[in-house]
Structure 1
């Protein structure tokens, strides 16, 4: 996985780091990648994470991100939502950001 955001970090430091990862949506569904990344951020097993459907419809999310073949090459879809105390931002390009809600709030002032 490659990092495209120099201020992002792929190793968690409690609830103070933004985690950025890049995926190929043809290899892993966005919903599974989100759960794995949040469990990494929380330093717990994926089974310890609340079901994603409590925050967003995972089937709809996967479908929206998988249908990028109809987009122009210079177009990206982005979905943002909160789950398990993190703001999740997922892009059709394969980039995924997980940011603690408290960190995001403090950055916005």
Structure 2
């Protein structure tokens, strides 16, 4: 699959951090979360770490993201001490919040 700076249609994607050679991975388990990792062609974890992106009807550049690996959607976690209260993406069992993917 060729690199795209933004999704253009519903489908399965790997999400890369712009200007860095890192991809988003789900870290399921007792204390689930999302993490950044270097891309690897030999990592079994990354072979399956892809995201189904579905565009929200009637909205431009707004997507729902669901992990192929575990079916988790993406929400955000916010605590008083998390990035001064701003929060960060976090997997959740169930539907995804809506996300805008910027270039």
Which protein is richer in helix relative to its size? 1
What is the TM-score of this pair, normalised by structure 1?
0.24
Q: TM-score, normalised by structure 2?
A: 0.25
Instruction: Identify the structure with the greater strand proportion.
Output: 2
